[in-house]
Amino acid sequence: MPLSITVGGIDRTSVCRFESLRIHNTITSNADFADLAVFVKDATWRPKAGNVVVVATSSDAMVHFGGSIEEVTEEQVLLDDLRYRLSLKDYTLLFDRRMVTQNYLVTGPTTSLAANNIISNIVTNYCSTDFSSTGVQTAPVVAEQRFDYVYPSDAIRQMADQLQWLFWIDYNKVVQFVSAGSLPAPLTSIDFDASSSGSNWSNAVFTESASNVKNRIILQGFKTKAVAAMQSVFVGDGFTKFNLLGYEPSGISTGDMVATLNAAPLTLYTDTIDGTPSTEIVAGSSSKLYICYDNMGARMDYTPSSSETITVTFYPLHDDGFQYDDAAAQTEMASREGGDGVHMYQSQDPGLTNLSGSADLAVATATALTTRYGSPKIKGTFDSFTQGWRAGQAFSGTSVSRMSGFTKQFYVHAVTKSLVNHPGSTGTPLWKHSVEFGESPLPV
């Protein structure tokens, strides 16, 4: 059969209602979702929450949806006939069976803080072996990531939000992490003045809104590495093993911290990760110093005597704020509404902790916000019978007559896929795609 639907590994195509199938794919969600109705007679079998469902076509060897039943609702239609409404979630439900408990620091378990290295480590160590990270693109460096029982998809989504990248798990269980605009749409360019020609696109509707404009960004609540180092000196007393630094250190790499015991270099470790406090029975090493970020202190398993001095030279983190103005967006708004065109937005975001001292992550975040919200953006919808549409793709759109004329790069924000007809045992099923798009990489 050209189209097959398996539930729990068994072909259940004959009891599925194709007209009920809706597959929802959005750029802002961690997962794809689908709805499907199944009719069962005499209660010989029923779909169960947790069963894996795969929708595929043999004519093009394509998987249109793969995931698990998240919720089952049973309705009685006739005395012996039961209808089951299935709410499906893609393989993210299986991807998140375990949680991430790992701090990805400068000296942590990866060779660098590039997002792709962290994601590969998460997939390898916290997800089942049938998931792959081969779809992860080489990505920029992110801030140090600290995960304390966080679902893998949430951990990866956090980095995607920081970089304004796209993340999803495809129906072959491959993790995809790509930059916005790097995926071409099946129609790479659309002339909205031309005939829609039926099979390509139709019913285009455009919208422009000024309800959410943000072009002066005030970011607060994050910390920045100080431009100068500070030094703390502690004299041993024969019983104290923990000393308070007073400030959260920026890190324990060579460029962030140096520590000595009576001028002899100490090897630095992260407390509670590389060592556990209060477990030593005998005196520990006199060459190791454990740095605790939460308590802003330094601990030894060794007890320095009154003749020994610990010296810690480090770059502390301090509270910071940042203002970013998109001058071009403000000028555009001034031309439309008068005045200076400034629309302010403030955010408290501790996740912007910046270790370079140049507010680079804050700049990237503010730039992304103004790219998305700086001035009114055109968005729209259309229907397409061309195969292959999904959220995150990009295409060029032109028009002379629509919305006063434009030539713009558009990004697909969401796609709802439905089955228009199923030809039975022969032929190819026809799918309709309802496409939502906009000129911002992410929905406004």
- Residue 392 belongs to a domain: yes
Average pLDDT, the chain: 88
Residue 182: predicted pLDDT = 86
- Residue 281 belongs to a domain: yes
Q: Which residues contact 194 (CB under 8 A, 6 or more apart)?
A: none
Does 303 share its domain with 337?
Answer: no
CATH code of the domain containing 102 = 3.55.50
- Residue 410 belongs to a domain: no
- Residue 405 belongs to a domain: no
pTM of the complete model beyond 0.85: no
Does 68 share its domain with 202?
Answer: yes
Does 193 share its domain with 85?
Answer: yes
Average of pLDDT values for 375-383? 93
Does 233 share its domain with 295?
Answer: yes
Half-sphere exposure of 4 (CA within 13 A, CB side): 16
Distance CA 134, CA 175 (A): 7
Q: Tell me which of 84-98, 152-166, 211-225, 350-364 is least confident.
A: 350-364
Q: Which two tokens stand for residue 137?
A: 């693109």
Number of domains into which the chain is organized: 4
pLDDT reading at 38 higher than 70: yes
β-sheet with 216-225: strand ranges across: 317-325, 216-225, 344-348
Model confidence pLDDT, tens digit, residues 293-310: 888 999 998 899 999 999
User: Residue written as tokens 């942590």?
Assistant: 108
Which range marks the domain in which residue 64 is found?
A: 1-90+183-210+378-400+415-444
Reported as a pLDDT band with limits 50, 70 and 90, residue 152 is very high
Distance CA 177, CA 136 (A): 5
Does 76 share its domain with 189?
Answer: yes
Model confidence pLDDT, tens digit, residues 385-416: 998 999 989 999 999 999 999 999 999 999 99
Model confidence pLDDT, tens digit, residues 309-366: 999 999 998 888 889 999 999 999 999 999 999 999 999 888 776 655 555 678 878 8
